[in-house]
Chains A and B, each alone.
Chain A
Amino acid sequence: MADDAGQQRELVYCHACENEWYRDQHGLKCPNCSSEVVEIIEERSDPRRHRLNISNGEDEDTVMGNSDDRLPHNPLPRDDPWRDNVPDPDEPDIEHVEWNPAPGVHFARTSFRSSGPTMRPRSQDPNDMFAPLFQSVSTIFEGAANAGRPPQRDGPPRAVPQILHPLFPMGNPFPEYQHHHTHHHHSPWDGPQGGRSVFTATGRWPPNGPGPSPNDRNAQNVQNVLATLLQTMQAGMAEQRGQPSPMGANLPAFIVQMLGNGTHGDAVFSDEALDRIITQMMEQTNTNSAPGPASAAAIAALPKKEADKAMMGQDGKAECSVCMDAVEIGDEVTVLPCNHWFHGECVGAWLKEHDTCPHCRQGIMPKDGPREADAPRSPGQAPRHNLNPFLTTINPNANPGTPPSRGSGPNGVNTQSGMQQPYVPGGYPGYPEPTNPVRPLGHHQGSYSQPPSPQQQQRHRRRSAHSQRSSNGGEGSSGGGGQGVTGWFRNLRGGNSGNR
């Protein structure tokens, strides 16, 4: 594998078995383990890089001196701006990079990741640019709040910590300088497949050692750096919004671009960017939080009946609300335990993926019983899944026949929208008033103590996934929420003490 080959042919890396191959030979599926969790290696994003750090457990000089020797198979040229400054982390799963773009400015990024078998492939779709960040959780360090604190060690002055171990505080040689904020500690992306990044931007301590009163100067120094950074970030954002940036030219274009986009590599630099990533990740994974399928046997065992007059709406018409085709008297329909009926084929296609009524979102599987129950619940039995935020009632005595057809007009509004009328079963022809209130069942009901707007519903989920990262400053928040970069820094500084 010569260097030129790597530039002309795309090299693909398998996250599952660490195999590598050329895309034009074996495509995007690992020829070794058949995994589809693969990534096209790019100069700027080499998934093997964190392995590189693992492979050498010695000091920085050794790393730099031997880096080529360590990588006999690496076809990529050594043009990575980060790479010359890559010190070796002590922990195998940490990628740590540092950069000093200007005197007094010090960037460090530490990524933690464990390459679980379910990592996503890197997508080539530009719209999917956040995909590689799927498991990235941003953790932010900064030294500003330290500024007023005297250094508690003797010896030569030195830069603020060069090695950051937020996950392993015991291993940190400079615990007194560390402040970290972790976004969503308990996000679904933490854990076995989790990864996170630490981004630090700090100023150096005075080079001439701790003078009689270095602290004020330290504070000023750090403040200045932060101010510069802040201006840069704002400049980047201003540029993004199409306004000229007075600061943009003063710092390397790299930073501006990086900060302007709000994302780079595994790190994000603004709350909005993080939010977007999270949202996108949730969109990609959110089927996990939806109820699973109903069992095929239970679907097949759903009662069928011929549509009768009672099932027709007030105008004498009815339709299957899945396909929206008209249902005539005498047509065979399938009736769910909630008494909503549909074409058997239509509702079957939905139920085999989601155990919820297409109309009221109550499931057909019984709450109690084996996972693969071979019969649907009886109407009086509690559903295993009940995603209906408004209908906290199951209705054992409901009249058969519940036209889901609503046509247009007031009944045609989507009842899921919390901004509109809540779902009222009695509002539909033939649908009796609920008579038998029970508590909402199933874990999906947890957040529905009152009818939320759909957005609130969504927020509930996102909040739980973000672990309270919100503009109202949930604990554990980096304070990133809802206020742009300025607030981001403000909160970062204000909230430091609690997290140290």
Chain B
Amino acid sequence: MAQKRIVKEYSELQKNPPLGMKISLPSEADMHQWQILIDGPKGSPYEGGVFTLQLSLPTEYPFKPPTLSFKTKIYHPNVTNDDKGSMCLGMLRADEWKPSSKIDAVLGFARRLLSEPQPDDAVEGGIAREFKENKKEFIKNAKAWTKQYAKK
């Protein structure tokens, strides 16, 4: 089931790509690894940058949730600043996942999180604090990182 549904979702997303995203397969042979390029949302400090994300679909998909990680370094309270770049997405947690959730929605959610960081649910506490208490500095840093790491 996994393969069929994944192919289906992939082709739907190719037909109607979500706003500001490019979806591709790094290896045509492996439908379970997707590469997503997300444009930094307008009005956010990530604007002008392109962020590479990796979406991994487990073989049990859709019974097990996909995982999403940033391959491009990003200064964001909800993305871990480590080599994993894990994005903290509630809907992808095993106990909150449901099979009717679509990748389309997952990606939309991820992009939304770029526009609207959730400092109260941060994985990077320092960045979250800065976001809340010193927005100016946060924006400056986020922009600097975008410029440095997420160049088009």
A residues with a Cβ closer than 8 A to B are: 127, 241, 271-272, 275-276, 279, 282-283, 286-287, 289-290, 321-325, 346, 349-350, 353, 356-359, 361, 387, 404, 408, 412-414, 416-417, 419-420, 453-459, 461, 471, 480-484, 487
Whether the pair B108, A414 counts as a contact (CB closer than 8 A) is: yes
The distance in angstroms between the C-alpha atoms of A350 and B16, with both chains bound, is 28
Any chain A CB within 8 A of the CB of B5?
A: yes
A48 shortest CB reach to chain B, Å: 30
B99 touches A321 (CB 8 A): yes
The 10 closest A-B pairs by CB, nearest first: A414-B105, A454-B90, A482-B125, A290-B95, A458-B90, A484-B126, A455-B121, A321-B100, A358-B99, A459-B121
Partner pick for B95 among A276, A289, A420, CB 8 A cutoff: A289
- Determine the distance from Cα of A57 to Cα of B78 in the docked complex, in whole angstroms: 47
B128 / chain A contacts, CB cutoff of 8 Å: 471, 482
B9's partner among A324, A416, A458 (CB-CB below 8 A) is A324
Binding site for A on B (CB under 8 A): 1, 4-5, 8-9, 12, 16, 62-63, 78, 80-82, 84, 86, 88-91, 93-96, 98-102, 104-106, 108-109, 112-113, 116, 118-126, 128-129
Q: What's the Cα separation between A279 and B122 when bound, in Å?
A: 11
CB-defined A-B contacts under 8 Å, sample of 21: A241-B81, A276-B80, A276-B123, A322-B1, A322-B62, A322-B99, A324-B5, A350-B99, A404-B100, A408-B12, A408-B104, A412-B104, A413-B105, A414-B105, A417-B91, A454-B90, A456-B118, A458-B88, A459-B90, A481-B125, A482-B128
Whether B125 lies near A483 (C-beta < 8 A) is yes
Asked if residues A361 and B98 are in contact (CB atoms below 8 Å), the reply is yes
Most B CB contacts (10 A, CB to CB) among A286, A454, A484 go to A454
Q: Are B109 and A346 in contact (CB under 8 A)?
A: no
What CA separation (Å) do A456 and B91 show in the bound complex?
Answer: 11
The residue on A at minimum CB distance from B64 is A353
Q: Which residues of A contact B90 (CB under 8 A)?
A: 453-459
Docked complex Cα distance between A105 and B11 (Å): 61
B98: A residues at CB distance < 8 A: 356-359, 361, 416
How many inter-chain contacts with C-beta < 8 Å in the A-B complex? Answer: 146
**Residues of the A chain whose Cβ atoms lie less than 8 Å from the Cβ of B125:** 271-272, 275, 471, 480-484
Q: How far is the CA of A57 from the CA of B4 in the complex (A)?
A: 62
Across the interface, which residues of A come within 8 angstroms of B99, CB to CB?
A: 321-322, 346, 350, 358
Query: Given the complex, which residues of B lie within 8 Å of A454, measured CB to CB?
Result: 89-91, 96, 109
Out of A127, A283, A356, A404, which one reaches B93, CB within 8 Å?
A: A283
| Alpha-carbon distance between A18 and B16 when the two chains are bound, in angstroms | 57
A279, chain B: closest CB distance, angstroms: 7
Partner of A419, one of B12, B80, B93, B109: B109
Cα separation A324 to B3 with both chains bound (whole Å): 11
> Contact: A458 with B121, CB < 8 Å?
yes
Nearest A residue to B105 via CB reads A414
B109-A417 in contact (CB<8A):
yes
Chain B residues within an 8 Å CB radius of A349: 1, 63
Given contacts A289-B95, A324-B4, 8 further A-B contacts (CB under 8 A): A324-B5, A349-B1, A356-B98, A408-B104, A414-B102, A417-B108, A459-B121, A487-B129
